[in-house]
Chains A and B, each alone.
Chain A
């Protein structure tokens, strides 16, 4: 039902063991998310660099990943958040203050507050996992109705509604509490 082909927990287990293919599996599973979030925060060019640094530093620091503290995906999003901050700081040092208005290559400029909250949302979705994660993404990224989601995931409509409401409430609390 995950549709991802590789089970998140299996990847995490391989990661903890330091198996040689764990990095590649994790990259396949989460590089899209890492890059996508980074792109909203630092633009397309910076996103490549951030993605590279995230996976290199994650692998070098793989001993610091504690599975009991949360899923691997959430840990990687947390690293992404820190690398984005690094990237933005280094830009501040490079860009003269007078020219600080960023030339954002993306169609829409994301404020730091927005991209930070987006990271928080996705980090929490990785923490919660499926089916809640998929339900939320199908609803608000793919714009499916609750009924369509229920059919797609083969879940009772009531379950989809309950998951949606609870997960949204949890995410709103996180954003509210982050300030």
Chain B
């Protein structure tokens, strides 16, 4: 046992080396919590986000993690969407790197057009663009008209083309929005931009009501 040599120190001025002593005794305090703590933080904030509707709360879900692990808990209610239908609906745009970006350091890494899905109710057109700014990827979404969110809100997702996985990106509440993408998201894998109508029911899973969708294409390949 290592006796606590400060436990019964006299009141009044601290000994001259109390600061040093505490620092030495504590040692390296930066080891960090186990990984599960971050998962818990993320899960807790994801759960309360729909109620807050706050843009900016991290909603990222790397599917290998949380949603992949408990994917069976919230059955996804997907609209019927054959791959052929997606192909027919989405008009591809092999846009070259646009000169319109506000920042000189930005590089457009992918872009595509968005189109309404059948039964979505209203014609919606828009564009999606991924730019690399200062080492991070940002997704810019613009729609000509904001789809009707009904009683809920509209959420932007990145999907695998075969719908085998999805990453939540954020809430869109205007005709243009910009989102920071989670580091490590492979746009070649999660290539489909999807806007869904979500109910304020606290369920963080995709509500199954996609209203707008489009696929990103590698801008350098266009």
A interface, CB within 8 angstroms of B = 17-24, 27, 31-37, 39-40, 47-48, 51-52, 55-56, 59-60, 107-111, 113-114, 117-118, 121-122, 136-137, 140-143, 168, 171-172, 175-176, 179
Contacts and interface: CB of A to CB of B under 8 A. Distances in A.
A139 to B, nearest CB: 8
A141 B24 contact: yes
A21 B58 contact: yes
Given A27-B41, A47-B33, A48-B34, A141 B19 contact: no
B32 A40 contact: no
Interface string B41-79: 100110010000011111110000000000000000000
Contact of B4 (A56, A108, A143): A108
B23 interface: yes
B26 A20 contact: no
B164 interface: no
A19 B56 contact: yes
A21 B185 CA distance: 13
Contact of B37 (A19, A35, A168): A35
Contact of B26 (A31, A36, A55, A59): A36
Nearest to A19: B180
B26 A35 contact: no
Contacts of A59: 41, 45, 57-58
Contact of B57 (A20, A113, A118, A142): A20
A117 B12 CA distance: 14
Interface of B: 2, 4, 6-7, 11-14, 16, 18-20, 22-34, 36-38, 40-41, 44-45, 48, 54-60, 136, 170, 179-180, 182-183
A111 B24 CA distance: 16
8 contacts: A18-B55, A21-B182, A27-B41, A31-B38, A48-B36, A114-B22, A118-B22, A141-B26
Secondary structure class of chain B's binding surface, majority of residues: loop
Given A21-B180, A172-B19, 11 more contacts: A20-B57, A23-B41, A24-B38, A31-B32, A33-B29, A34-B33, A35-B29, A36-B30, A48-B36, A109-B4, A114-B6
Contacts of A27: 38, 41
Given A56-B45, A168-B19, A32 B32 contact: yes
